[in-house]
Structure 1
């Protein structure tokens, strides 16, 4: 499909592989769009389950901070995440290595996660003055538990494969073959029932926020991305130094 994304089929299962190993599969606008298009295209072509994984030693190292440019990237990222979440077929994340920031977002956008021994989950936005949307925080908390979510978001704690499995963030421990076997099993199940179950789980446990709350949280979210601290984080990255945040 592209040098950045590989799309293959195995029976009724489509396998989407992120292919930027030199950058640890870090996301750009183009890569987000390619993942979204691969997923929707696979389902349109008849795939009954999907597996998402990364090439090399990382699942996804998050956003490519050299290519994060405001609204355009965010629209591409969250459009892709929403696509994975709302597909009518089961989506399995084969987390073959670290899933950091947006990598964790991809993993939790999938329905279930199979974690290799080298897998790790983290959302280190407080270290670079970025922010993830309320959906991400809520879904992460639902899967990992509120305490683990607070430790990850406020204390930058990284969650390894074994602990992720114990918490419920990872549903199974295993490699890509294990993920493929589980996805193949799902592909033989009743499609309408699977789609209905996903719809109920998403609607009941992750309902839309009321307009006032959504507006208030959206304003705070946007403020993080427009802050002087975000600019400071980018400058510190270029200058290879520790950022100094001022809350501005």
Structure 2
């Protein structure tokens, strides 16, 4: 009789242990499942600029550097590229390049990212001396130019098919027709020059973000941090 009582007392204890183990197992399974599910569904990081989701794959493109050598997407594949379009011999071009350099400097604590980062200013007119001057400041800086058709094609790739080819042609022809003219903006004709809109291209040659001209270098650098971290998580 005592043996039956002892056995009856053991049953609830075994049942409670079994339920505790079952609950613990379900918790672990739910935790693991939740961790695997969350990264695929969590909201994309909020940035100040415009993040393109999904990224826009860019076709191959070619321009020329200050030495007249072909330089384009092939040379930049596998690198992060911050690209702007502005005339190098204009105040807007100088301000745009200065803004790019400041963005780069604000990534100083990310040496691995900076090592694969390039700054590209696309200019309707080439000034080899100015381009070389910027490269002396930072070897990863490139000033590129090309024919009006090449420039219009690149602009269309970045902004859509509404690129103004005639404006690009006019700007190039104006530069060729008046080589001794004072660069626009330096004469005081443009008291409020604008820096360029910047385009961020990832190592897979995809356009992933656009940073408007009004966005500060600090804000752009923060956005690039978020986007590079997101890119690293996906691979």
Question: So what's the TM-score if we normalise by structure 2?
Answer: 0.30
Question: So what's the TM-score if we normalise by structure 1?
Answer: 0.28
Q: Which structure has more RCO (C-alpha within 8 Å, separation ≥ 6)?
A: 2
Question: Rg bigger for which structure?
Answer: 2
